[in-house]
Amino acid sequence: MTTESRIASFFGLDDMGWAKHANPWSGWTRFITCLPLFALAVWSRVWLGWWSLVPIAGALLWIWLNPRAFGPVQDDRAWIARGVFGERFWSNRHRVPVPARHQIMPNILNVASLTGFPFLVWGLVAIDPWPTIFGMAMIIGGKLWYIDRMAILYEDMIVQRPELRYRQPSETSSR
């Protein structure tokens, strides 16, 4: 089992979960809102004191709720949907191998994205906008590049094995 498949399992990403996660509304609102809302919630400790735990909890709830808040994607035409489905292939590579050309770059991009984390933490602790913004840009930029590579992985996988192409699951599907 891969680290990514454990994370997917923790977040309840079965067939329906992945289909909802791939909805462009879910994908783009994650990029636009999750990290900035969390950062703002942490910064609110300056204005709200201990009451800042309320917006922090709200931001964390949104991060958890977002992949569940939207209906399943209809098809795989959207770039972000293909990226999420490629991410699913990547997380399940222990069961269905991915092409050799996709073995290294996802790990590099995940590490690159994580390099923004210390800057984000520094900015949140110091209430300093520059390291906060720089950290968020590194994290989000790395994740966007990762999703782009996952879209390419998805396209390669469905060319090799057309039966893997996304088909909208029924509401009772939970594979």
pLDDT for 12 beyond 90: no
Q: Taking 60 as the threshold, does the pLDDT of residue 143 lie above it?
A: yes
CB atoms under 10 Å from CB of 152, counted, come to 16
Task: Kindly state the average pLDDT of the residues 29-54.
Answer: 94
Vertex 95: Cα angle to 89 and 99 (nearest 5): 55
Quick one: pLDDT at residue 171?
A: 54
Whether pLDDT at 175 is above 70: no
What distance in Å separates the CA atoms of residue 32 and residue 172, rounded to the nearest whole number? 31
For the stretch 2-11, pLDDT in tens is 888 887 877 7
Q: Express each pLDDT in 118-136 by its tens digit.
A: 999 999 999 999 999 999 9
> Would you give the DSSP letter of residue 23?
S
Q: Enumerate residues 6+ apart whose C-beta is below 8 A from 162.
A: none
What residue spans define the domains of the chain? 3-164
